[in-house]
Amino acid sequence: MTIENSRWSQEFPKIGIRPTIDGRRKGIRESLEEQTMNMAKAVAALLSETLKYPNGAPIECVIADTCIGGVAEAAAAATKFAKSCVGVSITVTPCWCYGTETMDMDPSTPKAIWGFNGTERPGAVYLAAVLSGHAQKGIPAFGIYGQEVQDAGTTDIPHDVQEKLVRFAKAGLAVAQMKGKSYLSVGSVSMGIAGSIVNEELFQNYLGMRNEYVDMSELVRRIDEVIYDPAEYELAMSWVKENCVEGPDNNPASIQTSREKKDQDWETVVKMSLIVRDLMVGNPRLNELGFGEEALGHNAILSGFQGQRQWTDHFPNGDFMEAILNTSFDWNGKRAPYLVATENDSLNGVAMLFGHLLTNTAQIFADVRTYWSPDAVKRVTGHTLEGAAANGILHLINSGPAALDGTGEQSRDGQPVMKPHWEITDDEVEKCLEATSWRPASLEYFRGGGFSSDFLTRGGMPVTMSRINLVKGLGPVLQLAEGYTVDLPADVHKTLDDRTDSTWPTTWFAPILTGEGSFTDVYSVMDNWGSNHGAISYGHIGADLITLAAMLRIPVSMHNVAKDQIFRPRVWSNFGTSDPEGADYRACTNFGPLYK
């Protein structure tokens, strides 16, 4: 078994479809059986044709064996779902049903209800009644109600209903895929960064995840005792020599390391990549080599590497390891990223995980380094910012861990994108590699040496930057900013980039402004960002992130998503409709973490 096959050996969570019906026999129920079951089949077809798991396979839906007219059939559906690895439920109906008798009572499963908008039967009445029951019992559910009246018997799903079904399903599957997985902390706190103080309450109570810990000395042990696949190591080294171009050494000549030391660093960073991946997900090859315990891994869907400074003062830095694992390809070909948070910033890691599970794409990890105003750019370079950048830009830059997908060298319809791994072509892999150089690490930062990835993200990509922050007494909060990557003239980029560390990858980001609050101007976005890091995901996924956060009971403190795109459980409106942001905080506080 290959490592990729073993990585996906656990069953993915499925979506359970619950067709509910008026339980009255001798005419009413019988007349509705076919329409109700067809609604369930139509939803299952829509979701299976639209969404994919991280390995590229279509998502699977499980439909209850019968329509659900009362508590006995509800229990039978729950039993089937439990045996079928269902982690998300969607209830559908065209008619009145007995609300609390037919509802899904599992408090930890994300759930939505689509009540058919038709005049022949009161599906909308059931929707309102059962959502009231969910609110009264403290089990929030998402209500889906189409804007237009449909004719009885139609099998079409209106566009607005489709949009909500897909948004709910994406977020619900993200919740279900995190449950039971691990965050692997390799090392401890990096340079006093609060995000690398791993908060077990966040992972266990809000995300349903375990916390696993490994000292960085484990990498030394595995390197010294050759606890990795030697054959894969040789393959990886050959691939690196052929595809990873070493850039110029920016260190002063007096402290530059020798060619021999650089070659040794390459060997070490490749071994580090193999070892951290194996620590996360295991490797069946290790069992064949006599390392049965190490072959199992830590079932980690996400990890973090402390690096600085206890590691990097002596050993090569983790930049190559983080960059290549976060990327959608390596020496074994194209594959889903292995998410690794630099500096063990677990909070930014969670934002990366959210973005990846919602999009199946690689994530860019970066410092939210600098706000450049139009006046400051003009003063320093003589250039007038224009287009998406006209109001100013944020310089997103960090040492190494940004996925190579972040070069923007993948394309769709002639535009730069970041794709799920199964859509990436061999030519696009080559372009991402060609756009990246590996600079010898700045020895003032990284005394142990190593290499940092250096690239410039192409402009024109819609992206969303997000971050989880922890606030004492409040808990986790999510913030996000939708915007675009932007191109600058080469000389302007160089002038600005040279003012920081030009060995690191740069993304120029222009957030979309609303003229209000944190999005009054670009400065306000920077000024209100909650930490030094941000996770950048391809696409404008702010609405999906808001839905996901509501499922987990994490309030959103900052966003620039249009109000008509925000989709939360119906009970949120009971906490106030004139102040949606405040209602979100009150609802999350009231219901508490999903798994507590």
The contacts of residue 78 (CB under 8 Å, 6+ apart) are 104, 105, 106
284/143 same-domain check: no
Phi/psi of residue 245, each to 5°? Answer: -80, 125
Q: Is residue 1 assigned to a domain?
A: no
Q: Is residue 596 assigned to a domain?
A: no
Report whether 533 belongs to an annotated binding site: yes
pLDDT band at residue 315 using 50, 70 and 90 as cut-offs: very high
DSSP annotation of 519: G
Q: Is residue 103 assigned to a domain?
A: yes
Phi/psi of residue 197, each to 5°? Answer: -85, 95
Identify the pLDDT of residue 154: 80
256/396 same-domain check: yes
Catalytic residue among 294, 319, 330, 367: 367
pLDDT in tens, 441-483: 999 989 999 999 999 999 999 999 999 999 999 999 999 999 9
Catalytic residue among 265, 322, 330, 343: 343
Query: Which domain CATH number covers 36?
Result: 3.40.50.1070
Q: How many CB atoms lie within 10 A of CB 589?
A: 13
Q: Is residue 56 assigned to a domain?
A: yes
Q: Is the pLDDT of residue 69 over 80?
A: yes
Which of 160, 178, 196 terminates a domain? The answer is: 178
163/197 same-domain check: no
314/214 same-domain check: yes
Known catalytic membership, residue 4 = no
pLDDT band at residue 5 using 50, 70 and 90 as cut-offs: confident
Q: Is the pLDDT of residue 127 over 90?
A: yes
240/375 same-domain check: yes
Which of 119, 152, 178 terminates a domain? The answer is: 178
The vertex-39 CA angle with 36 and 43, nearest 5°, equals 150
Identify the pLDDT of residue 399: 66
397/272 same-domain check: yes
* Run of H or E residues at 372: strand 364-372
166/115 same-domain check: yes
Are the beta carbons of 486 and 459 closer than 8 angstroms?
yes
Query: Which domain CATH number covers 469?
Result: 3.20.14.10
* Run of H or E residues at 214: strand 210-214
Are the beta carbons of 59 and 52 closer than 8 angstroms?
yes
Count of the separate structural domains present in the chain: 2
Q: Is residue 518 assigned to a domain?
A: yes
Q: Is residue 121 assigned to a domain?
A: yes
pLDDT band at residue 400 using 50, 70 and 90 as cut-offs: low
pTM value is: 0.97
Q: Match 């906490």 to its residue by tokens.
A: 575
Mean pLDDT on 276-281: 98
pLDDT in tens, 334-358: 999 999 999 999 999 999 999 999 9
360/504 same-domain check: yes
pLDDT band at residue 77 using 50, 70 and 90 as cut-offs: very high
Identify the pLDDT of residue 120: 74
Pairing of strands 437-440, 245-246: parallel
392/482 same-domain check: yes
Q: Which amino acid is at 366?
A: A
Identify the pLDDT of residue 160: 95
Report whether 319 belongs to an annotated binding site: no
469, two tokens = 């922050």
169/311 same-domain check: no
- CB-based burial label for 467 (10 Å; 0-12, 13-18, 19+): buried
Q: Is the pLDDT of residue 19 over 80?
A: yes
156/192 same-domain check: no
**What distance in Å separates the CA atoms of residue 351 and residue 478, rounded to the nearest whole number?**
8
Share of the chain above pLDDT 70, in %: 99
Identify the pLDDT of residue 318: 95
Share of the chain above pLDDT 90, in %: 92
Burial 121-160 (b: 16+ CB within 10 A, else e): bbbbebbbbbbebbbeeebbbbbbbbeeebeeeeeebeee
pLDDT in tens, 223-267: 999 999 999 999 999 999 999 999 999 999 999 999 999 999 999
Q: Which amino acid is at 44?
A: A
pLDDT in tens, 502-522: 889 999 999 999 999 999 999
Which of 154, 178, 202 terminates a domain? The answer is: 178
160/200 same-domain check: no
Known catalytic membership, residue 343 = yes
Q: Is residue 276 assigned to a domain?
A: yes
Identify the pLDDT of residue 501: 84
Domain span including residue 536:
182-591
Report whether 343 belongs to an annotated binding site: yes
Q: Is residue 456 assigned to a domain?
A: yes
The contacts of residue 250 (CB under 8 Å, 6+ apart) are 439, 440, 442, 502, 503
